[in-house]
Amino acid sequence: MDNGFSARVLTDSVSPAGIRLTTMEVRFPRFVLSEFNTHRVLSKNSASSRAVPTNKMIDRALENPAMPVEWGVNKAGMSASEALTEEQAEEARAEWLRARDSAVEHVRNLQKFNVHKQVINRVLEPFMWHTVIVTATEWENFYSLRCAPNAQPEIRVAAELMREAMNASQPRTVGIGDWHLPLVQDDERDLPIEQLKKISAARCARVSYLTHDGKRDIAKDIELCDRLLTDRHLSPFEHVATPANDSEFHANFRGWIQMRKSVEERVGQPQALR
């Protein structure tokens, strides 16, 4: 089993005012997603367990389950300060895997009743790895809290990888009128900008530049974008942004204006984006 954690910069931009906007893809255990989501200054979209076939979820849980990275001794307070002995930790890992096996058994039983995957997949979530697309201009508070020694170990590992990835990345200058376009590939950048914006938003919603069939399909991306607009699922439009003429906050970004703003202004007229 690999340890499952990863963080990579997808798109890194800096405005003429010197304000950096970074989009990353991050992978960590699903059981710390709620802590990650408390940071409202970050724009986020996640892979949904509702969309994954149950048998694929079972395979993932069996082949590479998400597990705690540290096994601490129970005490008062939110974090442990002392680790179990190696022998105790080994027993704890074995018990965790037995819980995983039990969850898989219950899911398979629920499949016999033809229960929809949006229900039974939830039983497997504690044992799943989770991928998030995250974009922000403000990172200091997140790193201060989540890289700290008393942070939940699993989110601390992810945050440290994110900080390392950002430190290693060199942002590209994006001028006024140009756009930060996560998941748009280099060989696509000659397409009309309105198409590129829609492609980027759709891929952020899907959390991949590939379709669920594992193919790159621009027509499917544009179709998904239009469906997001029709259904009023607007969070993916936050990752696509253009530099502002100031250094003020616009929604949760400083010095950048999200595509979501123009989408919300036109949301009653979805044909305006077509």
| 172 beta partners | 13
Record the pTM: 0.93
Q: Rounded mean pLDDT of the chain?
A: 93
Task: Tokens for 244, please give them.
Answer: 């502002």
| Count of Cβ atoms closer than 10 Å to residue 137 Cβ | 22
50 secondary structure, DSSP code:
G
In sequence order, what are the beta bridge partners of 257?
242
Q: Dump pLDDT digits (tens) for 119-164.
A: 999 999 999 999 999 999 999 999 999 999 999 999 999 999 999 9
Q: How far apart are alpha carbons 184 and 136 in whole angstroms? A: 18
Contact 174, 15 (CB under 8 A): yes
**The pLDDT value given to residue 85:** 95
pLDDT score of 68:
96
Distance linking the first and last C-alpha atoms of the chain: 45
Burial of residue 40, with CB atoms counted within 10 A of its CB: 0-12 exposed, 13-18 middle, 19 or more buried: exposed
Residue with tokens 């895997």: 97
Domains detected in the chain = 6-168 (3.30.1360.170), 174-273 (no CATH)
For 180-218, write each residue's pLDDT tens digit: 999 999 999 999 999 999 999 999 999 988 776 778 999
CA atoms of 31 and 177, how far apart (whole Å): 40
| pLDDT at residue number 210 | 78
Residues 71-98 have a mean pLDDT of 93
DSSP 171: P
Look up residue 147 and give its two tokens.
């890289």
Burial class (CB in 10 A: 0-12, 13-18, 19+), 120: buried
pLDDT of residue 2: 57
- Determine the pLDDT at residue 79: 84
Give the length of the chain.
Answer: 274
What's the token pair of residue 212?
Answer: 């669920």
Q: Nearest 5°: phi and psi at 80? A: -85, 155
pLDDT at 209: 82
